[in-house]
Structure 1
Amino acid sequence: MASVQTITPCLWFDGRAEEAAQFYVSIFDDSEILSVTRFGKAGFEHHGRPEGSAMTVTYRIAGQQFTALNGGPNFRFTEAVSFVVRCDSQAEVDRFWAALADGGDPAAQACGWLKDRFGLSWQIVPAELYAMLESGEADRTERAMAALMDMKKIDLAALRRAYEGA
């Protein structure tokens, strides 16, 4: 029997939950739509959604389960919540950045952060950056942070040069 994930993020969309879930599973390995529940006639006076339209979509991206809810226009995503994608290489940074930023808000890009076409914030971060920041070498860390602050998409080679003082 498969284990049940104890905590599942539920993301609130305004009619685009199924589209968003399909977008996200197309980007990440180990991803799939698990189930879709649909609105029926009951409760139309409360939710106003057409019968048969997606109510919730349960999906997995990169092994992590999520639920997308078509909850209406009441709430929007903010940068107060973001998902961090830890990358092993510049090629991974480039791939995830290009896919998630496509159709997103270019004005919301800074220091590895981006906002996708649904307004959800992501941090596309090379794992090596964590090692730099956790090294305990203050001068090197400061140089890497100063370089990071001037970037939109993270340039790992430039971070390395800054970290090394080159």
Structure 2
Amino acid sequence: MNKTTMCLWYKGDAEEAANFYAATFPDSKVVAVHTAPGDSPGGKTGDVLTVEFTLFGSPFVGLNGPDIFPQTEAFSIQVHTETQDETDRYWNAIVGNGGAESVCGWCKDKWGVNWQITPRVLTDVMASGDKEAAKRAFEAMMAMKKIDIATVEAAIRGEKVGAA
């Protein structure tokens, strides 16, 4: 059993969000749905209060509450991808389901949760110790919304790249 569980605040639609995540990401599922035993500022007796779910095997709980705590970019879920197809699939699922594009691999789902869809080639070069290659990859990434792996790889090799 994990000692920590990430809790995300939703405005009454935690179950919808958890079902979307479970259908979109591998090793993800809705584990349990719990209803409120009494009235609260965010709902009535019997309303869905919390939803336990996993994302890529990590435990989360969605808490339904009143519209007082908005999601912000100060918190995001980072998903490491291996291929452009995987990057595209997750990005397009989030953005295409009422979400919004941002920059540098960030997007926001329709519930306001922020995501970083980050190809591993980008994080690997940042950790490689090759400061020049990391700088070129970083500069290429800064011009992107969804990360284009071929452009990042070209930048790492020192090839001239344009905005993706």
CA distance in 2 between partners of 1:162 and 1:131 (Å)? 14
Instruction: Please tell me whether the aligned partners of residues 31 and 53 of structure 2 are also in contact (alpha carbons under 8 angstroms).
Output: yes
Q: Structure 1's 48 and 126: CA in aligned 2 closer, same or farther, altered over 3 A?
A: closer
1:153 matched to 2:150? The reply is: no
CA distance in 2 between partners of 1:105 and 1:98 (Å)? 10
**Residue type at the aligned position of 1:123:** Q
1:53 matched to 2:47? The reply is: yes
Residue 48 of structure 1: CA displacement?
Answer: 5.1
1:22 aligned residue (12, 15, 19)? 19
Partner of 2:162: none
1:94 matched to 2:91? The reply is: no
Q: What TM-score do the two structures reach when normalised by structure 2?
A: 0.92
Indicate the percent of aligned positions where both proteins have the same amino acid.
Answer: 41
User: Superposed, which structure 2 residues align to 1:104-143 within 5 Å?
Assistant: 104-106=99-101, 109-143=102-136
**Number of positions where the alignment pairs a residue of Structure 1 with one of Structure 2:** 158
1:31 matched to 2:24? The reply is: no
Residue 52 of structure 1: CA displacement?
Answer: 2.5
Point out where structure 1 has 5 or more consecutive residues left out of the alignment. Answer: none
**Residue type at the aligned position of 2:4:** I
Point out where structure 2 has 5 or more consecutive residues left out of the alignment. Answer: 160-164
CA distance in 2 between partners of 1:33 and 1:131 (Å)? 31
**Residue type at the aligned position of 1:81:** F
Partner of 1:70: 64
Q: Structure 1's 48 and 99: CA in aligned 2 closer, same or farther, altered over 3 A?
A: closer
Instruction: Please tell me whether the aligned partners of residues 43 and 65 of structure 2 are also in contact (alpha carbons under 8 angstroms).
Output: no
Q: How much is the aligned-residue C-alpha RMSD, in angstroms?
A: 1.2
CA distance in 1 between partners of 2:22 and 2:94 (Å)? 11
Residue 50 of structure 1: CA displacement?
Answer: 3.5
**Residue type at the aligned position of 2:123:** Y
